[in-house]
Amino acid sequence: MPKSLRLVASGEKVKIITVNAAGEIGRRLRDMGLSPGTDIEILGRAPLKDPISIRLKNYTLTLRNNEADYITVERLDS
């Protein structure tokens, strides 16, 4: 079931379904490699739950929750 990247627990592996951002933030997210079909792993969160650390395409990326809200994902079957 698709859900926001913000709601995914640490340690889960998910696939990006959609990136619902336009303009500058949409371009920035795409430039970071966040596009539909990309597999990512949630590495962890800061103590106050923002930002979120993810692993994709052999590198680590940190996103703020307001950025993660634009990304819809579904859980990968292990």
Task: Decide: residue 5, CB within 10 A, 0-12 exposed, 13-18 middle, 19+ buried.
Answer: buried
Ordered by where they begin, the domains of the chain are 3-75 (2.30.30.90)
Which is higher by pLDDT, 1 or 18?
A: 18
Which is higher by pLDDT, 77 or 69?
A: 69
Amino acid at the residue 43: L
Cα–Cα distance, 21 to 12 (Å, whole number): 23
Q: What is the pLDDT of residues 12-49, one digit of tens each?
A: 999 999 999 999 999 999 999 999 999 999 999 988 88
pLDDT bin (cut points 50, 70, 90) of residue 51 is very high
Token reading at 37: 């079909």
pLDDT for the residue 78: 60
Q: What pTM value is reported for the model?
A: 0.89
